[in-house]
């Protein structure tokens, strides 16, 4: 008789007694799936050393490889119990790694620049590596620094992203406690203006207008639809956290991040914020694990607490010259509403956004307890007293990127340690932790976090600091557990390719683009135009310059629209004399950043106006003394630019409109403006018979509206100023406080204004929000 092993005997007894395991295994190549009958599907990599435990006939992953089922490995238990158990098992080094959020990672990493990396010490092109391989730097921060939150930027393709995810998850599954990677993304659903939409055709990813364009629909359900579709595509790419939405109230019209917001109206922005987060976070049906969270959920990290909109003079806080948010109208309360009444007050079962990012800004004189003017992530009043205390928020608070790094001047893209420039990097980490922060954006190294821990031990004792670190660990782990990553972090590449940019999603995005275009003027029913009308489309001048990273671009003239798209709607002619209509496509004025080294060279303070008009503007109505001011890199505090002149770098856009009008005589000129900020229309509106604006759409969407394929229905989610005087005199923190432009037809370009083919839109959206 053959001998029988203990496990064989157990299997025999289970079979006799009808207690066979309730799971089966499926080999997927680089990973295996374990299907629990009546339970979740598990995924693990055979190379990771993880084995499957059978308990009560169900399968569980032995992530820490100790041969027994720990509470954090038991998918039957509530998330908080699992997170608390795991946090208690983690070393301080492991928690410190969990508190890191990586710098920007492109897949594959290319070059030596901002997104650079190497493979076995060589550039990607010379390495022979696969595009889905992990770079040397990624391997280091995942293994040596215990980092588990990765910010992904560009990817070569959806399939490569999925393969990279599987490689990263297999690596971290093999380490320590088997904590999966929580990968994230900044918004990635923008439009390629040149791309063509074909019904039934797919693309790299669905293309939508930006959130400001979606807000122009005045329809929160459209925003929610975007969130749901975007979440499905994110999950197919291995992305489980969205570093969005940007729900700053856009009360300062000159701010360079204005077009990433949901507009300036508190009620509209609040409703849109709620819809966005509900769309991203909510799983339903078989995809739901518990409380609305599940396998199709994406954590939403709302930004930027307590509102980054009221930047003094419109200068942005990525640089020291824009460090101050100011409140001349004493109106912090409106800036909190998209958070407290929107993102923290969801209709869906997830309840509130799972993470919050404070902005770089010093919210000047808003700390009513400690009277401290430091960057928001360092401010204990704003994080602990207000966010966590008054508003009861217990989700993750993650700093904006690189706030703990050093900087050398107010005009260089480096660290953003506003108000704490005199502290060491480790001291900045400790101050942020004491303020209530859980995580550090853009930091790949755990060393400064460990130093901060020791500072806390010296001040409060080991027990206090261990408890404080576990508190952050539980918050961070919740967001990994709730989306099912501990059960199965692996992706089926074929499913990814079918999901991302599928025809249904592409169609929804294109239809949303059509609903985001605002018609401001339609003199004598110039629009819609008949198809194959003779149309002259002048080229567009693109001014040169430097981006934030110092990369220079040269000026150039280029086609204003994709000529192949235009030819499908019009007979495009080369000369105005041969045209029945002219179509001029331009950008809103690019009025600068509010700081100039040329001004410094003139022995002035460097601060200059940001203009919302094309032509020169002298800031005679700016405030005499700035509200915010002061930097270790400046020997003055008054950042006023009164009496100085600003000019748009793309003034040629205005000239193109005026020249085209002159060339066309009495024949109609249609002007389409890609708007990034509110603008002064007095310079170009009189020369336009019809005027449309958009916040980022495909050229094809514009053509559809121009030719009547779709009727314009969007409304202005912000005001258009009458002149720069009203811009300089408005309060940075107060919504809808400008004198608005009135055009030659007698229409005022105020919040909630828009035209359709029959005239001014007066519907339930206008009644609700205006």
Which whole number is the average pLDDT over 106-112? Answer: 86
C-beta separation of 162 from 488 below 8 A: no
Length of the chain: 770
Kindly tell me the burial class for residue 729, based on how many C-beta atoms sit within 10 Å of its own C-beta (0-12, 13-18, 19 or more). middle
Q: Output phi, psi for 441, to 5 deg.
A: -75, 135
Q: How far is it, in rounded angstroms, from Cα 666 to Cα 691?
A: 16
Structure tokens at 17: 């007694």
12 has a pLDDT exceeding 70: no
d(CA 616, CA 613): 8
Among candidate residues 134, 128, 210, the one with its CA nearest the CA of residue 166: 134
Burial of 167 (0-12, 13-18, 19+ CB in 10 A): middle
Q: Quick check: is 400 catalytic?
A: yes
Annotated active-site residue 145? The verdict is no
Catalytic residue among 248, 271, 334, 400: 400
Of 312, 313, 284, give the one whose Cα is nearest residue 296: 284
Residue 520 in tokens: 């401001």
Instruction: Report the 10 Å Cβ neighbour count for 634.
Output: 17
For 166-200, how does the pLDDT look when each residue is reduced to its tens digit (9 = 90+)?
A: 999 999 999 999 999 999 998 998 877 666 666 56
**What integer pLDDT is reported at residue 61 of this predicted model?**
98
CA proximity to 744, closest of 681, 660, 662: 681
Within 10 angstroms of residue 66's Cβ, the number of other Cβ atoms is 12
Reported as a single tens digit per residue, the pLDDT across 294-332 is: 999 999 999 999 999 999 999 999 999 999 999 999 999
Percent of the chain past pLDDT 90, that is, above it, reads 92
Task: Return the pLDDT at 655.
Answer: 98
SS3 421: coil
Report the pLDDT value the prediction gives residue 194, as an integer from 0 to 100. Answer: 65
Taking each helix axis from N to C terminus, what angle separates 462-481 and 79-89, rounded to the nearest 10 degrees? 130
- Whether 672 shows a pLDDT value over 90: the answer reads yes
Phi, psi of 362 (to 5 degrees): -90, 110
Which residues, other chains included, contact 443 with Cβ-Cβ below 8 Å and sequence gap of 6+?
Answer: 100, 101, 103, 402, 404, 449
**Segments in 113-265 forming alpha helices (H):** 124-127, 136-143, 158-173, 211-215, 220-237
pLDDT higher than 60, residue 139? yes
Produce one character per residue of 647-672: b if its CB has 16 or more CB atoms within 10 Å, e if not: bbbbbbbbbbbbebbebbeebbbbbb
Query: Taking residues 430-452, what's their average pLDDT?
Result: 97
3-state SS, residue 278? helix
Average pLDDT, the chain: 95
Which pLDDT band, with edges at 50, 70 and 90, does 164 fall under? very high
Reported in sequence order, the residue ranges of 628-756 that DSSP labels E, i.e. its strands, are 645-646, 669-674, 690-694, 755-756
pLDDT at 30 over 60: yes
Q: What are the residue ranges of helices labelled H in 523-562?
A: none
The string of pLDDT tens digits covering residues 504-544 is 999 999 999 999 999 999 999 999 999 999 999 999 999 98
Higher pLDDT, 538 or 11: 538
Average pLDDT over residues 90-119: 91
Mean pLDDT of 34-48: 97
Looking at 248, 259, 265, 367, which residue is catalytic? 265
- Phi then psi for residue 440, to 5 deg, are -120, 110
**pLDDT of the residue at 2:** 40
Alpha-carbon distance of 185 to 299, in angstroms, equals 11
CA–CA separation, 146 and 176 (whole Å): 9
Strands of 103-148 (E only): list them: 104-107
| pTM across the whole model | 0.95
Q: How confident is the model at residue 203 (pLDDT cuts 50, 70, 90)?
A: confident
Confidence at residue 527, expressed as pLDDT on a 0 to 100 scale: 98
């Amino acid at each position: 008789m053959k001998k029988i092993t203990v496990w064989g005997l157990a299997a025999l007894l289970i079979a006799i007694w009808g207690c066979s395991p309730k799971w089966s295994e499926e080999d997927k190549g680089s990973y295996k799936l374990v299907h629990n009958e009546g339970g979740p599907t598990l995924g693990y990599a055979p190379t990771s050393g993880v084995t499957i435990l059978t308990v009560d006939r169900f399968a569980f992953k032995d992530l820490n490889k100790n041969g027994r089922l720990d509470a954090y490995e038991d998918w039957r238990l509530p998330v908080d119990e699992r997170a608390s158990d795991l946090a208690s098992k983690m070393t301080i080094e492991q928690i410190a790694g969990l508190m890191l959020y990586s710098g920007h990672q492109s897949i594959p990493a290319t070059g030596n620049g901002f997104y650079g990396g190497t493979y076995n010490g060589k550039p990607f092109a010379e390495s022979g590596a696969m595009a889905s391989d992990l770079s040397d730097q990624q391997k280091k921060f995942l293994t040596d620094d215990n980092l588990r939150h990765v910010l992904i930027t560009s990817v070569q393709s959806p399939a490569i992203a999925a393969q990279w995810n599987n490689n990263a998850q297999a690596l971290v599954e093999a380490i320590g406690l088997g904590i999966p990677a929580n990968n994230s993304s900044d918004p990635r659903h923008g439009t390629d203006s040149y791309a063509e939409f074909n019904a039934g055709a797919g693309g790299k990813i669905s293309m939508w207008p930006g959130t400001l364009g979606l807000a122009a629909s005045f329809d929160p359900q459209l925003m929610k639809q975007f969130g749901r579709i975007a979440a499905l595509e994110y999950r197919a790419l291995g992305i489980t956290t969205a570093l969005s939405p940007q729900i700053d109230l856009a009360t300062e019209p000159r701010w360079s991040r204005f077009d990433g917001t949901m507009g300036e109206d508190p009620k509209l922005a609040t409703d849109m914020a709620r819809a966005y987060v509900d769309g991203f976070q909510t799983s339903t049906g078989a995809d739901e694990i518990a409380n609305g969270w599940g396998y199709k959920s994406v954590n939403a990290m709302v930004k930027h607490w307590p509102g980054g909109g009221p930047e003094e003079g419109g200068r942005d806080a990525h640089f020291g010259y824009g460090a101050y948010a100011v409140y001349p109208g004493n109106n912090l309360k409106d800036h909190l509403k998209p958070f407290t009444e929107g993102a923290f007050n969801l209709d869906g079962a997830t309840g509130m956004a799972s993470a919050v990012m404070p902005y770089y800004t010093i919210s000047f004189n808003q700390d009513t307890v400690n009277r401290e003017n430091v960057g928001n992530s360092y401010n204990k009043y704003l994080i602990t007293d207000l966010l966590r205390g008054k508003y009861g928020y217990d989700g993750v608070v993650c700093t904006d990127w690189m706030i703990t790094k050093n900087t050398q001047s107010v005009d260089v893209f480096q660290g953003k340690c506003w108000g704490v420039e005199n502290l060491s990097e480790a001291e900045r980490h400790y101050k942020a932790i004491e303020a209530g922060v859980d995580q550090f954006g853009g930091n790949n190294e755990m060393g400064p976090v460990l130093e901060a821990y020791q500072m806390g031990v010296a001040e409060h004792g080991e027990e206090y600091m261990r408890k404080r670190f576990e508190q952050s660990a539980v918050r961070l782990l919740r967001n990994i557990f709730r989306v099912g990553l501990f059960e199965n972090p692996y992706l089926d590449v074929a499913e990814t390719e079918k999901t991302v940019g599928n025809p249904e999603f592409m169609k929804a995005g294109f239809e949303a683009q059509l609903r985001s275009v605002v018609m401001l003027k339609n003199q004598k029913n110039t629009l819609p135009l008949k198809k194959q009308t003779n149309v002259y489309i002048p080229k567009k001048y693109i001014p040169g310059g430097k981006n934030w990273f110092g990369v220079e671009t040269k000026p150039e003239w280029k086609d204003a629209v994709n000529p192949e798209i235009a030819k499908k709607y019009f007979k495009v002619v080369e000369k105005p004399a041969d045209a029945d209509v002219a179509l001029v496509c331009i950008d809103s004025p690019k009025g600068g950043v509010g700081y100039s080294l040329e001004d410094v060279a003139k022995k002035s303070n460097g601060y200059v106006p940001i203009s919302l008009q094309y032509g020169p503007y002298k800031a005679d109505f700016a405030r005499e003394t700035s509200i915010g001011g002061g930097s270790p890199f400046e020997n003055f505090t008054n950042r006023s630019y009164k009496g100085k002149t600003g000019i748009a770098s793309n003034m040629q856009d205005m000239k193109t409109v005026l020249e085209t009008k002159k060339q066309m005589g009495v024949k109609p000129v249609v002007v389409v403006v890609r708007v990034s900020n509110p603008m002064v229309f007095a310079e170009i509106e009189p020369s336009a018979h019809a005027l449309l604006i958009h916040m980022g759409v495909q050229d094809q969407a514009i053509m559809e509206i121009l030719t009547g394929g779709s009727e314009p229905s969007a409304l202005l989610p912000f005001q258009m100023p009458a002149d720069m005087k009203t811009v300089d005199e408005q309060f940075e923190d107060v919504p809808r406080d400008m004198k608005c432009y009135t055009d030659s037809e007698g229409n005022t370009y105020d919040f909630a204004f828009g035209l359709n083919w029959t005239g001014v839109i007066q519907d339930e959206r206008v009644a609700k929000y205006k």
